[in-house]
């Protein structure tokens, strides 16, 4: 799957892609000479009093937060936890601005230095699904697409969306044993 971002996509960027950018971009920026004392992996969570409107009432304005993960909808009274940020030891990590990033990168390509490659591989299941005469068949004993992962040094699996199922449709044929 190849990702190409345009300015119109700014509001539709998935949280997964932003997470990858948030994780990798500071590493590359800091590797460029932010100082020997900067360690983005060591630090603490600190209260951030900066006013960020999207944090004050995030549920209606963020299309990527699924309703079942809306703490306030289910009764959490406070919003203080939304005001924390990660503060690395020995340096300041600025807040990521997705729209600003896209504006700066519009019409450009990102080439990562130091021989690092970030690959996004989307697979709805960790096992294989094959089209059959009666529909899609989930093969629990097959993982042929796993060959893509063999050369990776770091794998990030996101399973969060599977913890909540809205309906009985699973995307595969359920055969009795």
Please tell me whether residue 46 adopts helix, strand or coil conformation: strand
Please report the sign of the dihedral spanned by the C-alpha atoms of residue 105, residue 111, residue 112, residue 114. Answer: negative
pLDDT in tens, 70-118: 777 778 788 777 778 888 888 887 777 778 888 887 887 766 566 767 7
Please tell me whether residue 167 adopts helix, strand or coil conformation: coil
Q: Are 86 and 39 in contact (CB under 8 A)?
A: no
What are the angstrom distances between the C-alpha of 134 and each of 14, 154, 168, 175?
33, 37, 17, 10
pLDDT in tens, 15-70: 445 555 555 555 545 444 455 677 778 889 888 877 665 455 555 556 666 676 67
Residue 162 pLDDT: 56
Q: Are 84 and 50 in contact (CB under 8 A)?
A: no
Residue 173 is given by DSSP the state B
pTM listed for this prediction: 0.40
Q: How far apart are alpha carbons 17 and 122 in whole angstroms?
A: 11
Of 130 and 168, the one with more pLDDT: 130
Both structure tokens of 124: 């709805």
Q: Are 20 and 118 in contact (CB under 8 A)?
A: yes
Of 175 and 79, the one with more pLDDT: 79
């Amino acid at each position: 799957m190849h990702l190409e971002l345009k300015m119109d996509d700014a509001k539709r960027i998935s949280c997964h892609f932003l997470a990858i950018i948030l994780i990798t971009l500071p590493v590359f920026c800091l590797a460029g000479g932010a100082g020997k004392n900067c360690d983005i992996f060591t630090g603490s969570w600190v209260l951030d009093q900066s006013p960020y409107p999207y944090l004050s009432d995030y549920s209606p304005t963020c299309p990527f937060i699924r309703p079942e993960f809306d703490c306030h909808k289910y009764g959490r009274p406070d919003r203080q936890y939304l005001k924390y940020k990660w503060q690395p030891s020995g340096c300041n990590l600025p807040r990521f601005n997705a729209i600003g990033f896209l504006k700066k990168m519009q019409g450009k390509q990102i080439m990562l230095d130091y021989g690092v490659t970030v690959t996004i591989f989307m697979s709805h299941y960790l096992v294989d699904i094959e089209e059959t005469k009666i529909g899609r068949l989930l093969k629990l004993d097959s993982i042929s697409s796993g060959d893509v992962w063999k050369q990776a040094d770091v794998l990030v699996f996101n399973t969060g969306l599977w913890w909540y199922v809205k309906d009985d449709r699973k995307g595969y044929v359920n055969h009795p044993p």
